Structure 1
Amino acid sequence: MRVAVVGATGNVGTAVLTALHERPEVSSVLGIARRMPDQGAEPYAQADWASIDIGAAVKAPEAIAHLTKAFADVDAVIHLAWLIQPNSKRDLLHRVNVEGTRNVARAAAAAGVDTLVVASSVGAYSPSPGLEVRDESWETGGISTSHYSVDKAAQERVLDEFEAEHPEVTVTRLRPALIFSAAAASEIQRYFLGSWMPVQALKAGRPPLLPLPQGLRIQAVHADDMGAAYAAAAVAGVKGAFNICADDVLGVQDLADIVGDGKKVRPVELPPSMVRTAMSAGHLTGLVAADPGWLDMGMNVPVMDNARAKAELGWKPTRTAADAVAELLGGMIEGTGADSVPMRPRDAGGGSLPVSAVPGGADAGEGASAGKRSPRISEDVDRDLLNLYISDHLTGATAGMSRIERMAEANVDTPVFAELSMLAHEIRNEHRFLEQLLEDLGFKQLPHRQAAAWVGEKAARLKNNGRLVKRSPMTLVLEAELMRSAVIGKKGGWESLRDNAQLLGLDKQVFADLVDNVDRQVAVLDQVHAYARRRAFRTDLETFTPQD
């Protein structure tokens, strides 16, 4: 059988690809996402790929048409796509998460797909605080103060309607607990904690106290077990809902023990209202990525019974919730990730770009300081000038990285988001490459220059471009022009390093490839500019809503 996975590059999607590859019933897999992963890396190399927007920046008829064509030879569809951020764009989240589910379901029916497996959530359930265990018959009214929960409950209603209209399609709903793995650590930190949280400091030591909301209890499931559940559901073709979670339920002392990792950490239980106030303040100031609705949901969702999944899907957890949380925490400390844009490691590097330009030297994540070979710089080279030159390019890369990341984030609801996001991933990797190059050459970074560039780029955002309370359509035009100039400018840096590579003891081909890559990056920005300039000064064309 052939299985399509919509949303195949995130935490769960990556695990599902692995699980499907291990099922003898599955002959081929189609991965669908807006942003493509590294298709040469596992498990992404095992699938065919299509870039399809299910509703963020296209209207329903176009999304359904593209999906229907992709599903033409598919036996089962696993729908995982769900937009977590940005919290502030509720219309966008509803359009992708709720209406996007409707689009996927309609396309599956139009293509004659037999089985549709959809990612629901424990968050779809109505409140049930306490430890009473609930099965799949518990009401799915959601938690009213959590936008995620409200949308998951709305998704359930979409599926109710679809089942009534299309009884020929087997609709399976999986309602998982929190889904954790080491590979998802950096993604989860970005979505919920934010980049400011110094989780990596736990490597140096564990805190004696751990403040937690009073009465908190957590169910979790490892991503690998979750992937196995989706694969089992796609093959089994059993209608209905299934709770997916490990067998253990974690309380505050369990969480403190996990954080302690063998050392004594005492949980301090705080009133949930106090935690909510602090979380709200942190979210408003940008220090915490998640809004307080996530806490409301966590404190009120029921404890789930997983017996039906065990009995009818032949599924069982192979890891405990404690194992999953511990693995996630370890991954956050190390900054681990995977080879897709959503799951990129904290210190992004790798992919098609070598981490080091030292011939036979550093592998991914290992520089000269790790005992690898150091380049032999010719005595004819002025080391101070070279250090300054590369540092200046790193300064430019710092500003460029900040700008392109902001462009991608601000334009998630436009048709050019996928291109901007993947370009941001490349530029982030180039920034990491320059940092490693300075280390390989034994040079010092000049952090005050990078800090000034970062501050300057943030200050430039204060320009309102003719709009005070909403995004100006002119901003994307100007940013594309500035970014295009910066990308063209860096080409000279790669050319200089390419032509002096022998004197520096570096691999010339690495820089030649970077030079060649500039033209493709410029072409992406040309495409972005062409989209933006057609709308920047018009009153009859929208920039930030789905396009016809």
Structure 2
Amino acid sequence: MGVALKRIVVTGASGNVGTAVLRCLAKRANSPEISAIARRTPPARDPYSAATWASIDLADRDAQDRLRPLMAGADAVVHLAWGFQPSHRREYLRRVAVDGTRAVFAAAAEAGVPHVVHMSSGAVYEAGSYGRPIDESWPATGVPHCVYSVDKVAAERALDELSAAPGGPVLTRLRPGFIGQYAAGMGLERYVLPDFVPSAITNHLPVLPIDRSLAIPAVHSDDIATAIDAALERRAGGTFNLASSVPVRAADFVAPFGCGTVPVPWRVLSSVAEAAWRLRVQPVEGGWIELAYTTPMLDCDRAARILDWTPRHDGPAVWKETVAGMRAGVGADSPVLRSRSTREKLATLVERGPIDRRIPS
């Protein structure tokens, strides 16, 4: 018999994984009360209507104090919140990622919450086993040139420190590969395309430069939600890799775009992307490309044994579905995932500046 779950707090509940978690929890026979936290709250439509919402930016200095009363009496906290943009506001991203994670865990401990599930990433793993599966014992020192990886490592180290105190919550860390779904396509596009570039460009790519050694571990958002549900049900502590055993390879990456390829070494791609980012031409640091070509495959045997978890989608299917959502211009109702017209993106660009420099409102 599993743990009785009457109320769960979910941070980042309007995002890619959060949306899938809300769908998953709503299907439970005894669906728990959900207190959802996001910087911008979504409209009261499914799956978001099932939750009670609070608007909190985890970068704020009073985040811990504001979180504590929301967590009082909860059976678990699922911490999914993260920031990917503005990439040129390094201090802000660090506050969301590391200080925000500290605030969530500390508030949960102070409120007496017995279980915290933290969404980490396979990006924490040290390079050196590319294309080969590693288990959770592989060094979690990250990729030093990728801010996302650096901050995921720092967040885990903050949790190491906080969870060492006796009597605190059981801590579950999830380390997935790339996470995608149809509804996440527009969110991904918004993070990687400059505001002035029309969305339709993804339907007319003549060629993509790519290093053909590409092998990215990937997992569907719904499969992540299933793993979270299982961890909550079992109150299973420790670290779990989560990914399909079938990676996204170069041919899989290009196939949904229906275009040709030009072979280019990944280090060249990373250097060009970094230069373009520094020149403010596009919003993605070159470190993301380095991450794609250094993150190892993930051995998920521990999740299979302890959580009884098996992903239903393989990596190429996850990527194909995500790109299909991007090309169709179909998102979800949340501020993070909703589609935006070219006119709306240009208006925001003029009013508030490009996504890589504007502090989210």
TM over 0.5: yes
1:187-217 alpha-carbon deviations (Å, 9 max, x no partner): 11111233455553454x664x432024221
Call closer, same or farther: CA 1:329–1:128 in 2, change over 3 Å.
Answer: same
Equivalent residue, structure 2, for 1:82:
82
Aligned mates of 1:206, 1:53 — CA distance in 2: 37
Aligned mates of 1:400, 1:151 — CA distance in 2: 31
1:145-156 alignment, distance < 5 Å: 145-156=145-156
- Return the letter of the residue paired with 1:223: S
Report how far residue 407 of structure 1 moved: 9.7
Higher strand share: 2
Matched, 1:237 2:235: yes
Q: Which runs of 5+ in 1 are unaligned?
A: 349-393, 422-548
- Asked if structure 2 preserves the Cα contact closer than 8 Å seen for 1:210 and 1:267, the reply is yes
Secondary structure of 2:248's partner?
Answer: coil
Matched, 1:318 2:318: no
Matched, 1:287 2:281: yes
Aligned mates of 2:345, 2:193 — CA distance in 1: 23
Give the counterpart of 2:353 among 367, 391, 406: 406
Structure with greater contact order relative to length (CA < 8 Å, sep ≥ 6) = 2
1:50-129 alignment, distance < 5 Å: 50-54=54-58, 56=59, 58-59=60-61, 62-129=62-129
Q: Which runs of 5+ in 2 are unaligned?
A: none
When structure 1 is superposed on structure 2, of 111-120 and 311-320 the one drifting more is 311-320
When structure 1 is superposed on structure 2, of 305-314 and 104-113 the one drifting more is 305-314
- Asked if structure 2 preserves the Cα contact closer than 8 Å seen for 1:23 and 1:231, the reply is no
Report how far residue 179 of structure 1 moved: 0.7
Structure number, greater radius of gyration: 1
Call closer, same or farther: CA 1:130–1:75 in 2, change over 3 Å.
Answer: same
Report how far residue 9 of structure 1 moved: 0.9
- Return the letter of the residue paired with 2:232: A
- Return the letter of the residue paired with 1:312: I
Equivalent residue, structure 2, for 1:528:
none
Give the counterpart of 1:17 among 1, 19, 22: 22
- Asked if structure 2 preserves the Cα contact closer than 8 Å seen for 1:258 and 1:322, the reply is no
Call closer, same or farther: CA 1:74–1:110 in 2, change over 3 Å.
Answer: same
- Return the letter of the residue paired with 1:149: S
Report how far residue 34 of structure 1 moved: 1.6
Aligned mates of 1:289, 1:335 — CA distance in 2: 20
Query: What TM-score comes out, normalization by structure 2 length?
Result: 0.91
- Asked if structure 2 preserves the Cα contact closer than 8 Å seen for 1:94 and 1:151, the reply is yes
- Return the letter of the residue paired with 1:210: L
Give the counterpart of 2:321 among 306, 319, 327: 327
Call closer, same or farther: CA 1:270–1:66 in 2, change over 3 Å.
Answer: same
Equivalent residue, structure 2, for 1:44:
48
Report how far residue 284 of structure 1 moved: 2.9
Matched, 1:296 2:290: yes
1:205-238 alpha-carbon deviations (Å, 9 max, x no partner): 664x432024221111111212222222222211
Call closer, same or farther: CA 1:407–1:272 in 2, change over 3 Å.
Answer: closer
Report how many residues are paired. Answer: 356
Call closer, same or farther: CA 1:109–1:46 in 2, change over 3 Å.
Answer: same
Matched, 1:305 2:309: no
Higher helix share: 1
Aligned mates of 1:134, 1:28 — CA distance in 2: 37
- Asked if structure 2 preserves the Cα contact closer than 8 Å seen for 1:134 and 1:305, the reply is yes
Aligned mates of 2:43, 2:272 — CA distance in 1: 39
Aligned mates of 2:302, 2:345 — CA distance in 1: 51
Query: What TM-score comes out, normalization by structure 1 length?
Result: 0.61
1:364-388 alpha-carbon deviations (Å, 9 max, x no partner): xxxxxxxxxxxxxxxxxxxxxxxxx
1:489-508 alignment, distance < 5 Å: none
